[in-house]
Structure formats: structure tokens, C-alpha cells
Amino acid sequence: MNTPDTAPQKAQGTRGKARRTLILVFLTCALPIVAALYFYLVDRPDTTNNYGTILEPQVEVPGTVFKNLAGSDFTMTSLKGKWVLVQTMASDCDAVCQNTLFFQRQARTSKGKDQGRIERVVFVTDNGPLETMLLRQFPDVHFVRAPESELTGWLSLQKGIVGTKGSTEVLGLRDHVFVVDPLGHVMMRFPPNAQLEFDKFRKDISRLLWASNIG
């Protein structure tokens, strides 16, 4: 039988043990989050395993009204909620240009039921006609007219975080594919199109879709 003095002590000890258990559980759950925030905000790594270069700072797509090939209005903001692959080209799309278009189509198709999460936009920087065969090969692409002067402010060629599998080489707007996230931010630039490796390109896109709860 508990004496009047020992009963409160036992109850206090039980409450103290319960508090310690709760604190341990909290710390176990919180530490991974705290560590992730530390490495993201304080000690962020200089490189990643990405093939594409992660752009910093990320730039929001403009609300500029462009025209597609049919003369209808088009805005990048109309694609918010989707992952968007952006390419820039001249109307006389050469072999590298066509190969890059093909890579994007195959990467999207390989996502199966998730391919609807990806849109493709190609800015044509001159007023020349596009080959009918090219348009037939890529019917789901948004071909849009825009001079380079309206693209340079938000398609960044500045240095970002280069992945260990990527390339530090940066050329011109027509030499890279860019990625816009579902919130409308330009967040990645791939290595030059002439060097683009399909498997690495496809895997990066797969990682983005896998890691995202939106888009």
C-alpha cells in the first residue's frame, strides 16, 4: 500500500517519464526537418546529382501576351499548374534543334499516365515559316512567336548550381532547354542541346515529377 508521501512522488515520476518520452518522440520527428532546413538555408551544397543546372534566383514567367503560329494569344501564365519545357529556335530548325524537340517528346511520352503533367513551349524568334512536316511531328507543342529581346529577361543564362552529372558550359538562348515549375518559376537549364544526353535528361524530368506534389 502506498503511503501518503510516496503516492504523489510516484505520480510525479510517472508524469515526468511521460514528458521525457514525448520530448524524445518530438526530437526524433523534428531533427530530420531541422537538418534539412539547416543544409538548405545555411550550409547548402554547391553541387547536386542533377543533370540540369538549378537556377538561382528563380525568375517568375512574365504575363506577356505572345502570339502562336495561328495568331492567337498565348501567355506562359496560362500553363501554371504544369511542368513546362521551354525551347527557343529559329524558323529554319536544324538537326540539333529537331533532335532536341524529339528528346522532349520522348521524355514526355515515357512518363505514361503522367505525361499530361508536362507541357512544351517553343519560342520561334523570327517570322520565317516552319516546315509543315515539323509541325506534324510535334502537334502537341505550343509554337509561339517572340523575339529574343522578350525572352532574355526571364530565361536565365546566369550561373546556377551545376549538377555533378551536368555541364558548366553556357551558350545562347537557342542552345538550352529550360524548365518552368508548376508555380510559374524558371528553375532549371539543361546543358547545351548539341551535347544533350537523353537518358540523363529524361531522368531529371522523372525526378521533378516524382518529387512534386503539384503539377
Sheet containing 178-180, strands listed edge to edge, beginning at the edge strand earlier in sequence: 53-60, 185-189, 178-180, 83-89, 118-124, 142-145, 66-68, 73-74
Domain boundaries, the chain: 7-43, 53-211
Distance linking the first and last C-alpha atoms of the chain: 65
CA distance 92 to 111: 29
| Nearest of 137, 76, 78 to residue 109 by alpha carbon | 137
Per-residue confidence in pLDDT tens, the chain, 215 aa: 555 555 555 556 666 666 676 666 565 555 555 544 444 444 445 557 899 999 988 999 999 999 999 999 999 999 999 999 999 999 999 999 999 999 999 999 999 999 999 999 999 999 999 999 999 999 999 999 999 999 999 999 998 999 889 999 999 999 999 999 999 999 999 999 999 999 999 999 999 998 776 65
Fold of 53-211: Glutaredoxin (3.40.30)
CA distance 29 to 21: 12
CA distance 208 to 215: 10
